Amino acid sequence: MKSDIKRKHLERSESRFLRGPRSRIAELFFAIRVLFSFISAFRKMHFIGPCVTVFGSARFDKDSEFYRQAEEVGGALAKLGFTVMTGGGPGIMEAANKGAMKAGGYSVGCNIILPFEQKPNPYLHKWIDIRYFFVRKFLLIKYSYAFLVLPGGIGTLDELFESLTLIQTKMIEDFPIVIFGSAYHKELCEHIELMAEKESISKSDMKLLFVSDSVQEIVEHIETHSIKKFGLIKKQFKTKKWLGENPL
């Protein structure tokens, strides 16, 4: 009952801030809540990297071929030495986290608090609950050196194009973006090719994407364009007990 009330409150809070200008005091308190969301996330996620973020739908169940593929991919990424990060929910996200955990790797999630649907999946070593989508997207990108896009819906496409935009505009490095599942993403890839043909994007932007149906090809691509290119080693940060910090 308390959980339902909290989620309804968050739904109203999120909705209100999108309705245009409010009183200055309301806007100030909203900014403070956002600030504390970031601070809480930074404290929780400080020791997790380097990560690969896996995007995908929450709606595929354990009998789905996509679920099994995501689990395999999660295990392969963990064996490369990456922490596997997802949105923390069910479906593809759960499968990738499960694969990482079963392979002996680290598994983390940025779980969005919604008035329906999502709870943290049971295959997370660490997670944070986030009330704002824009904070969540920032965190899914901040700690990762590659982005893997599996079958999903509108949210997955939003995350894909957010990552592409940040790389295209040089806001972040040209980390590899991999689309897994050529049949599922056929029309999407054709539309991106159409944008390049019509020059609404540069043809060189096509090089930002790697499309494959092979887990081995994906592993090799990320190893070449992430690990070797950026010389990745796990950063060793010292915990500060007075801040109540705990590593993974």
Residue 1 is predicted with a pLDDT of 45
For residue 27, pLDDT over 60 is answered with yes
Q: pLDDT, tens digit, for every residue of 208-240?
A: 999 999 999 999 999 999 999 998 765 555 656
Q: What are the structural domain ranges in the chain?
A: 2-233
Q: pLDDT, tens digit, for every residue of 57-108?
A: 999 999 999 999 999 999 999 999 999 999 999 999 999 999 999 999 999 9
Contacts of 92 (CB under 8 A, 6+ apart): 54, 55, 56, 57, 58, 60, 66, 67, 70, 86, 150, 151, 152
What is the value of pTM for the model shown? Answer: 0.87
What is 2-233's CATH number? Answer: 3.40.50.450
